[in-house]
Structure 1
Amino acid sequence: MQIFKVSGMSCGHCVRAIGEAIRALDAAAEVQVELASGEVRVASRLSQEQLLAAIREEGYEAQPA
């Protein structure tokens, strides 16, 4: 499981947008988004760079936790 700190998330739309962006690249990915902590946990075959790019393309700042 990879963990990222993501800033700019504030609502359910943010949760859906990040999950959909990652699942568009890996349909089998498991994505858990915690708004309160700003953490996104991902179980996926994608590399850390691919996951970061997917999150950033949605307009959020992300870095490995």
Structure 2
Amino acid sequence: MKETLRIKGMSCGHCVKAVEKALSEVSGVEKVQVDLGSGTATVDSSGPLDMAEVRRKIEKAGYELV
């Protein structure tokens, strides 16, 4: 499954890496691609994402899921 998430608070390459790392820790996530310009992350997963877990990981990294 592919899902695009809006992430608020990213401003640099370090932010991209932090969000990629946080999302890659979510169970079922196989691939993460973050686009700093659009403020989005595209996630490929083996099944439906647990959005509560996604939100926790993003917030723990210091960003906001919009």
TM-score by length of 1: 0.77
Match of residue 62 from structure 2: 59
Q: Structure 1 runs of 4+ off > 3 angstroms?
A: 25-28
2:23–2:29 Cα contact (<8 Å) kept: no
TM-score by length of 2: 0.76
2:23–2:57 Cα contact (<8 Å) kept: yes
Query: Gaps (5+ residues) in structure 2?
Result: none
Query: Gaps (5+ residues) in structure 1?
Result: none
Equivalent runs, 1:18-37 vs 2, <5 Å: 18-26=19-27, 29-37=30-38
Identity %: 37
The one-character-per-residue Cα deviations of 1:15-37 (angstroms, maximum 9, x if unpaired) are 11111112234485211111111
